[in-house]
Amino acid sequence: MHKIDSMNTFLLVIIALLLMTLIFKNTANYVIAQGDGNAQHVFGVVGERQGNRQPFYLVDTAEETIMVYEYFQGGGLGFVAARHYSYDKKLQEYGKPYGLSIEEIKSALSKAQTK
């Protein structure tokens, strides 16, 4: 009985370590805006470092806006771009489709439903 308990404990520790590795490896660097509760719709995401630059994305879900900044090592923080995405959400499809287009899927579904 003691062997089974020690084996189960060992396997449980291994599983816990693997889960912790997966969680910490795939977790994005983000921070929810702090304050008096009025800014809970604003959050930031730190992007992957690219050379001496570190991107920082600020998202305002109430205003539906994304702003991009870059921290330059030794140069400070600079504004890169901003976009209001409310109209983007209304698009069904934009750009080069990967796989079937929405119209091709609709056509295939209507053909399958009529059979």
User: What is this structure's pTM?
Assistant: 0.54
Alpha carbons 81 and 34: distance in angstroms, whole number:
23
How do residues 51-106 score in pLDDT, each as one tens digit?
A: 888 888 888 888 899 999 998 888 888 999 999 988 888 887 777 777 888 888 88
Cβ-count burial 85-94 (b if 16+ within 10 Å, e if not) = eeeeeeeeee
The pLDDT value recorded for residue 68 is: 92
CA angle 59, 25, 41 (to 5 degrees): 20
- Residue 4 is predicted with a pLDDT of 65
**Token pair of 98 as six digits:** 């990967």
Sequence spans of domains, the chain: 2-114
Considering the chain, what percentage of its residues have pLDDT values greater than 70?
70
**Count of H-run helices and E-run strands, the chain:** 2, 5
Share of the chain above pLDDT 90, in %: 10
17 has a pLDDT exceeding 60: yes
Cα angle 40-42-45, degrees, rounded to a multiple of 5: 125
| pLDDT at residue 84 in the model | 92
Sheet strands (E) in the chain: 29-32, 42-46, 53-60, 65-72, 76-84
